[in-house]
Structure 1
Amino acid sequence: MPLILSGATVLLISAFVVASGFLEAARTNEMLRAADDLAVPEGFKLGTLQGRTAERIVQAAAFLPCGAVTAPCPSLHRQWSGPESQGMTRADVERIIRDSGWHGKLVINEENCELRYTNSSWITCEARGKLKDFDAQMRLSQIRGDVWWLSFMLDPER
């Protein structure tokens, strides 16, 4: 009898892991579709993160199925770099949001949107909100003397 219970337990665990994998793949595809809507400014080039391919920078929860307590998963991070000597303004951030179809969904963080250098060597403008059922964050930033960086992150809604 213990052998039958062990086999049934293994079968249930295997079914759970497989089902979780299918659900995670579906969520990943939703995230990728949302990220594809981002209206990236002309001249910006998609970067890579930790050796992952640029198109699918999606992170899962290692060996545990999504929904595990270890980390929100899947999560998505994409980053683009702008051309040398390109200027960017708050109006550009607003245009990215509007052209992406996210007006009213992503809101610029007024406390963290200064795109002129003052005493700092780093400037940034950040917008946050909800896209479908994901927490979204978009950030345009630059370190003095470097190119502009556009980052986009999606995490499961909390």
Structure 2
Amino acid sequence: MATQGNNALLKGIPTTKDAFVVIVKTEWNAPIINKLEAGAKKVFKAAGVTVKVLTVPGAFEIPYAIKAYAESGEPKADAFIAFGTVIRGDTPHFDYVCKAITDGVLSLNLTLEVPVVFGVLTVENEQQALERVGGKHGHKGEEAAVTAIKMIALKRKLKK
């Protein structure tokens, strides 16, 4: 069950100098995804975090893009955020995609040297998605950005 947003998460955002985050987002459900991205960018701008955005066709492709970027020799990310919106339809496709993206992000968190934040909305309908991009359930894009910043700070603290 979703809560009214994690207000505690948005408090006490640490300072992360020279942080760089890569957002991997889907083309599917672009109006919702663009709101997730805008919320994250707002938080990152206020925190002085540099952001790069990669776009993939669908949620299923997000883990591949994150892994490919991490292995590419491009500037090393301090964290990744996976943004997608999977809306239930009339077939079991929803279940397969949700499991694949969840398992993919989990696997990346256990194998990459940096955190991968799960910012994928898995909802029954478009209304539920809209409630999570600035509606009654908070803004999951902003929450994902704060989570990334906190995880970067944790990793840096543990590395000392």
TM-score (norm 2): 0.28
Give the structure with the higher percent strand. Answer: 1
Bigger helix share: 2
TM-score, normalisation: structure 1? 0.28
Higher relative contact order at CA 8 Å, sep ≥6: structure 1 or structure 2?
A: 2
